[in-house]
Amino acid sequence: MTDKKKPLVVVTRKLPDVIETRMMELFDTRLNPDDVPLTPAQMQEAMAVAEVLVPTVTDRIDRALIESAGSQLRLIASFGTGVDHIDLKAARERGIIVTNTPGVLTDDTADMTMALLLATARRVAEGERLVRSGQWTGWGPTTMLGHRISGKRLGILGMGRIGSALARRARAFGMSIHYHNRRRVHPELEQELEATYWSSLDQMLARMDIVSINCPHTPATYHLLSERRLKLLRPHCYIVNTSRGEVIDEVALTRMLSKGEIAGAGLDVFEHEPAVNPKLLRLDNVVLLPHMGSATIEGRIDMGEKVVINIKTFIDGHTPPDRVLEALL
């Protein structure tokens, strides 16, 4: 892949026009003109011919699919930050490098997390539905009462780029910042955020007013918020998740929300998306979004630029800047 011949790059979903144009200029590119996932048969065909595959988080690149790939496939340049949709071990065993697009979605996702936090605590979606229904009868002193967020304790599960960006926003709203992480962050960052570190997730959960999920989905974080841990939350606590649905036991969460054992939830991701638990759809104390936490024009273009750089660097014989290493997950 170091000769002058353009590598065959197969893109599985519709990307921003400016990115597709750039790819067509640089590579022998096959695009997906429709904004729908490839079928399993189409994905197998892509794996059989592509030298570089550009999937998205909706494409399940499992061991069976990787093992069916032709020997020419050398790079999976994923369009997205999360890589839980790719079997990294299987890719490594086949000598296939995997890259992602970290960093460029930090502010967009943190903004949406803050928006969900506010919408949930202040019952924004409920109020909007009330007005649209035509049943609103006017202002009342006890109508649509929510909770102020200033002075409340925010527990952040995962103090990475997005968690830190969320903490900065929440501080501006007068919230108290608390976090649980695999490792304690640098003292300077902790001091900047005025953040309290909890080595025990259980102890943190039991004392928070709002909990935000900002950790990736890995085998270690699957159902990290199990039914046992959800029961540690106080009844007035809210949960916000813009990370991955698999981090929460969705069945247990739904049951507790319906019983009033948790005050409410703002969910941008779901355990089995795009399928959503029908019981969640019937709950008024839940704000539901279609996995749009990073959905900005600027963010999508920035993601595409990273994909292009990763591919170009790789075909030029160098290590891509955003290579994913299993040990770091």
Question: Which residues are annotated as catalytic?
Answer: 244, 273, 291
Q: Is-contact 140 108, C-beta < 8 A?
A: no
DSSP SS3 for 12: coil
Sign of the torsion angle spanned by Cα atoms 309, 311, 317, 321: positive
- Among 14, 216, 300, 303, which residue's Cα sits nearest to residue 311? 303
Task: Look up residue 300 and give its two tokens.
Answer: 């999508």
Q: Which of 214, 212, 215 is nearest to 233 (CA)?
A: 212
For 183-243, the DSSP string reads SPPPHHHHHHHTEEE-S-HHHHHTT-SEEEE-SPP-TTTTTSB-HHHHTTS-TT-EEEE-S
Spell out the alpha helix ranges (H) of the chain.
Answer: 17-26, 40-49, 63-67, 88-93, 106-121, 124-133, 161-172, 187-193, 201-205, 227-230, 250-259, 278-281, 297-315
Point out which residues pair with 195 in neighbouring strands: 177
C-alpha to C-alpha distance for 114 and 240, rounded to whole angstroms:
9
